Amino acid sequence: MRSLALSLSLSLSLSLSLSLLAWDASAQPHTVTGNPATSYVRDSGPHSRPLDFSALVGTPGVGLVGFGGGVRIAFPLVHDGFIGSLNNSVKLETGVEFYHWSFLSFAYQSIAVPIQMRWDFYLVPDWTVFAALGVAINVYNFDEGFFGAPDGVAFFSFGGGGVITSALGVGAMWNMNDSMALRLDASANLLGVGLTFRL
């Protein structure tokens, strides 16, 4: 249990620290664009992007067997993204996800803490697409229940119960209104659907 608390504390502390840095960077004043644009996707700004919060359910990655879900929060890093002629932004996204994996001969549970950059492209008012790149800190145990561990292996021990994986993926958001969207996510860490709330 001491190993569990220490590892969970380290993972969440890292996630929170990066989030606070991103929030500080995004706190600079921005004005909403008032310039006419020939199309929505070419409205290059300036823009002010909101912080967003997502709740997701699905499987733990493309082609994997299991179920679960979690929450994510995304902080604006670059309100008008890397391509100046397009309506785009870059956000730092992190959160926590819980999964139960099922296979023919065994099953186990895992906790993942993704830390990734999400590059959003605003195609039309109703649709936003994105690509994400980062890592996920995954911790797990086999067969023994969430707070147990195999004999001789400490829960959350990266020597036997944890791994860092890529969080490369793509997705889309159907913007139902200015404050809420339906989110579709397909990545190495999550194949899921959920709701995104813009705060």
Q: Is the pLDDT score of 181 beyond 90? A: yes
Tokens of 13: 């502390």
Secondary structure of residue 12 in the 3-state scheme:
helix
Q: Which CATH number fits domain 2-32+39-198: 1.20.120.80, 3.40.50.10490, 2.40.160.20, 3.40.50.620?
A: 2.40.160.20
Residue 143 has pLDDT above 60, yes or no: no
Residue type, 166: S
How many residues can be counted in the chain?
Answer: 199
Per DSSP, what are the bridge partners of residue 75?
92
State how far the Cα of 133 lies from the Cα of 126, in Å rounded to an integer. 24
> Chain-wide mean pLDDT for the chain?
75
pLDDT band of residue 10 (cuts 50, 70, 90) is very low
Placement of tokens 């959160």 in the chain: 95
pTM value > 0.75 = no
